[in-house]
Structure 1
Amino acid sequence: MNVVKELSVCGGRLVKLSHNSTSTKTCMNVNVYLPKQYYAQDSSRSRPIPTVVYLSGLTCTPDNASEKAFWQFQADKYGFAMVFPDTSPRGDQVANDPEDSWDFGQGAGFYLNATQDPYAQHYQMYDYVHKELPQTLDAHFNKNAAAELDFLDNVAITGHSMGGYGAICGYLKGYAERRYKSCSAFAPIVNPSNVPWGQKAFKGYLGDERAQWQAYDPCALIKNVKRVGDDKVLIHVGDEDPFLEKHLRPELLLEAAKSTSWENYVQVKKVHGFDHSYYFVSTFVPEHAEFHAKNLGLI
């Protein structure tokens, strides 16, 4: 893993990294924010600093949320690190949408493992985000000493739009092994099998067999995952989001959760006057940060 650049931000440092991925067979970029607690000189910290993973939306890179979501202030407040992965494999050798649209192909990996040619060779984003990347970051940051950063065990996940979908999907798929301590989302695509963005991606990456789609659809997954304790999923969405009725449809996740262990444990907060932008995301990051800090044992 190569350090491309380090920047002072708030009380900590944003580290821009790149590495050759075995999952995507490409060079992948990832940003990591190390909070001020990482650099503290005292010995008050009794355990490794936990991590919040933020998955970005369509067309984004690791820089969008790093620059616009203001997670760093909250990371310093509570003492967690932030991981901002890329949204897809990239490069001249990576297949792209033949129509060069913005909602499929490079920048739109949908956080799944593609099975269809020509995408299967590189678009293995589920394995990359949830399996390879945590191990790679752990090896890089904790290689010379006892672990100071926890990328493996005390981890929460969140995301926006396509990334909100990816967060909920990854949380539910990894729930039995407790991969993530908590999950939240900003304006997520909750039922990709039944909305245009998701149908386009699933057909292109997974083929026409809809049974294959169910393995990555939160509305299908939630019916087969038994909730433990007081685990909840927190969702915010703006009532002026232009994609709300056609692509997001958060009410479908509430419907899917009915008569399951998740009923009343998926909280959808529809907030008046907000759209799909980072003005919306940054406004509610503090609430999501507190939610995750509690589940990570920081409050």
Structure 2
Amino acid sequence: MKTVSENRCFGGTQGVYTHASDATGTDMTFAVFKPEHATGAVLWYLSGLTCTHENAMTKAGLQAWASDAGLTVIFPDTSPRGEGVADDDAYDMGQGAGFYVDATEGDWARHFRMERYITADLPETVFAAFDLDDTRQSLTGHSMGGHGALTLALKRPDRFKSVSAFAPICNPSDSEWGIPQLTAYTGDPAAHDATVLLTAGAKLPPTLIDTGTSDQFYDKLGTAAFAGALTETKSEATLNLRRGYDHSYFFVASFAAEHIAFHAEHLA
């Protein structure tokens, strides 16, 4: 692991690092905010389409609240990158759009192994480099990252103490933000669909979701279908529809404090 930068931030340290990933076969960049009085608890923040590690680090407004709660926040990249890595002209496919799955199809299968990266490869690097408690982990994410947070939590119910999401893509097998990408990557969108996984019997840890009623991408998110699945399965989840809020980082920053407090409670 190599240090790119480290800056003082709300009494703690905001760092950016690179490492050679076995999962993707590329160098990957990630960011870590470690508060001055870190408790060892870890919150993984998964970003959305077109983002890198940097977007949420600079725009989501998590650090002040995480510092107060003693939570270390980790911001991974959203895909492998670089020369020789498969890509697409569409903004919602390829580099910047890994959908947090392990690709099995075509050229994507060579590098696009983001599920393994987030759940095994990057944690191995992080827990070796920082004094953190691997038994106290939670997940959050925005948009495509919300999809990743929900599906990874559903697939690993004993791994994460809680999960939250801002405007998540939660029914991708019935959305243009999911059908083309997950079909291309894996051949099976339903296998990576939070609504489908939940109704098939997968269990969520304690869950908090916020979605804006003025989200310009609302029709692509599948919020209503997922809400129905939560009700059907009697899941321990809170889904808030926030009047007038859109899909931007202004929305994320508006409710960041509530999400940090939610995770801090379950990571205590």
TM-score between the two structures when normalised by the length of structure 2: 0.96
> Percent identity among equivalent residues?
42
Are 2:68 and 1:95 aligned?
A: no
- Of 190, 197, 200, the match for 2:180: 200
Does the alignment pair 1:71 with 2:51?
no
TM-score using structure 1 length = 0.87
Residue 5 of structure 1 aligns to a residue in which SS? strand
Distance 1:197 1:226, change over 3 A: closer
Report the residue type matching 1:233 in the other structure.
T
Provide the rounded CA distance (Å) in 2 between the counterparts of 1:296 and 1:185. Answer: 17
Match of 2:52 in 1: 61
- Cα deviation, residue 222, structure 1: 0.9
Cα deviation, residue 215, structure 1:
2.1
1:227 is displaced (CA, Å) by 4.3
Residue 178 of structure 2 contacts residue 189 of structure 2 at CA under 8 Å; is this kept in 1?
no
1:162 and 2:135 correspond: no
> Which residue of the partner structure matches residue 279 of structure 1?
250
2:67 partner letter: D
Are 2:214 and 1:240 aligned? yes
Q: Is the 8 A contact 1:24 1:123 kept in 2?
A: yes
Contact 2:172-2:222 within 8 A present in 1 as well? no
Could you list the runs of 4 or more consecutive aligned residues of structure 1 that deviate by over 3 angstroms after TM superposition?
224-228
What is the rounded CA distance, in whole Å, between the counterparts of 2:26 and 2:55 in structure 1? 21
**In the alignment, is the contact (CA less than 8 A) between 2:151 and 2:192 conserved in 1?**
yes
- For the aligned residue pairs, the C-alpha RMSD in angstroms reads 1.3
Cα distance change, pair 138–198 in 1 and its aligned pair in 2 (3 A): same
Aligned-pair distance for 1:226? 5.5
Partner SS, residue 140 of structure 2: strand
- In the TM superposition, 1:1-299 aligns within 5 A as 1-38=1-38, 49-97=40-88, 100-141=89-130, 148-150=131-133, 152-175=134-157, 178-207=158-187, 212-225=188-201, 227=203, 231-245=205-219, 247-262=220-235, 265-297=236-268
Give the Cα separation in 1 of the matches to 2:86 and 2:185.
Answer: 11
Whole-Å separation in 2 of the counterparts to 1:251 and 1:233: 16
Q: Contact 2:211 / 2:241 at 8 angstroms: preserved in 1?
A: yes
Unaligned runs of 5+ in 2: none
User: Which has more radius of gyration?
Assistant: 1
Task: Provide Cα deviations, 1:185-218, integer angstroms capped at 9, x if missing partner.
Answer: 00000000000010111111012xxxx3322111
Q: Secondary structure at the match of 1:204?
A: helix
State the alpha-carbon separation in 1 of the partners of residues 80 and 215 from structure 2.
28
More displaced, 266-275 or 120-129?
Answer: 266-275
Distance 1:226 1:194 in 2: 19
In structure 1, what is the Cα distance between the partners aligned to 2:200 and 2:96? Answer: 30
Q: Secondary structure at the match of 1:196?
A: coil
CA drift at 1:260: 2.1
Residue 172 of structure 1 contacts residue 225 of structure 1 at CA under 8 Å; is this kept in 2?
Answer: no
Count of residues in Structure 1 that have an aligned counterpart in Structure 2: 268
Q: 2:208 is matched by which residue type in structure 1?
A: L
Distance apart, 1:261 and its partner CA:
4.3
